[in-house]
Every structure is written in C-alpha cells, then in structure tokens.
Amino acid sequence: MKKTLILIFLLFGHVLFSYNSRIDSLQNALFKASGSNRITILNQLSHEFWELNPQKSIKYAEDAYELAKKEKNFPEQINALINIAVAKEVENDTASARKYYFSAIELAEKNNVAQGIARAKKDYGIMLSENYENEKSLNYLLDALKLYREVKDTLQQSYVYSYIIRNYDVLNDNENALKYALENLNLLKGSRFKSRIADAFLLAGNVYEERNKL
C-alpha cells in the first residue's frame, strides 16, 4: 500500500511538473512573440487554463480574439471563441457557452473555414451530449464527422464517433450505436492512434453487451 501511494504521488508530481513547465514555456514565448505567432500562443494558453483558471483562460482568449480580428485571422478568431465557450462551460455558464459556440460556428461558416466549422460543431455537440440534449447533439456531431472526413482527420473523426455512439446509447438506439462503433473500429484499423483503438474496442464491446441484453 505504501509503495502504491508513493508511485501515485510521484506520477501526480510528474504530471503537474510537465503541466506547469508547458505553461511556463508558453508564457515565456509570449513575451517575445508578435503577429500571428502571438495570437496562436494566447489561444494555447487559454486552452491550458480552461479548468485551472477559467477567468484567466477567457482573458487570454479575448486578447487572442482582438488581435486576430485586427489581422483578419479567422481560424484563430474561431479558436478564441471556442476557448471562451469551453471556459464558460467549466464555470457552468451554459447560456454564455452556447452564445460563443454559435458565434464561432457563424464566423466559420461565413468565411468558409472548414476546420473551424468542424471544431465548433464538435465541441458544441459534446456540450449538448453532456447536458443530455442527445438528439440535438447528434445533429452537430454528424455534421462535424462529415467535415472531418472531408479533410481526412482520423483522430478527430474518432473523437466525434465516440460521442455519436454514446448519444445513440443514451437514446437506446442500439442499431445506430453499433453501426458507428464498427465504423470507428474500421477507421482506426492500422492507424498509429493506439489509445484510440483501445477506446474504440471498449466502446464496441459495451454496445454489443447492451444489444445482447435486449
């Protein structure tokens, strides 16, 4: 038991050290950064502070948004809006989170930023799923899946698949849950994303188990 506790303590310390080092590295880089590089770093810092300090996350994202707006850098404007939305979620301010997701989707669609549309719809779909708005969530996630297929982003497709499967599972639609679970496995076959493959097998196994209970 004592050895286990020591290992847990060491592992936690290593993760915390890596996390703080990453933030320190980004903050140091920010001092020297300008232009589009500065905007990217601000958005990265916003991402790092989502759960650690949502208000700080929002401040970094707002700074990124204003700079990106001046430079007409639409992808980073969209990233900033999504970062604010996620931080608002962490603060349990769902109404504000929705507003920022809608703004991100609108901006991405208006300027035809495919990755931005996909990410905004994916993250908004995930929020809806976590709030048990499953049918509405599916509309956004299926749109995101289609877009990630078009740009051949295997990793993001797999993330989207996992939430689509969970939504169908909650809705007791085992046929569609199984369909997308098998599509996810087929997508990852032979890929380098080993942890995603393990998750995909686990999800498919759970779907089969639920189906056999019927």
Nearest C-alpha neighbor of 138 from the set 151, 125, 120:
125
* Domains assigned to the chain: 36-112 (1.25.40.10), 133-214 (1.25.40.10)
User: For residue 194, what pLDDT is reported?
Assistant: 80
- pLDDT means per 10 residues in the chain (214 residues)? 41 48 89 92 96 96 98 98 98 97 98 97 97 97 97 95 95 93 90 81 73 58
**What is residue 7's predicted lDDT score, i.e. its pLDDT?**
40
Torsion of CA 140, 138, 43, 35, to 10 degrees: -30
Note the pTM of the prediction, 2 decimals: 0.85
Query: What pLDDT, on a 0 to 100 scale, did the predictor assign at position 202?
Result: 73
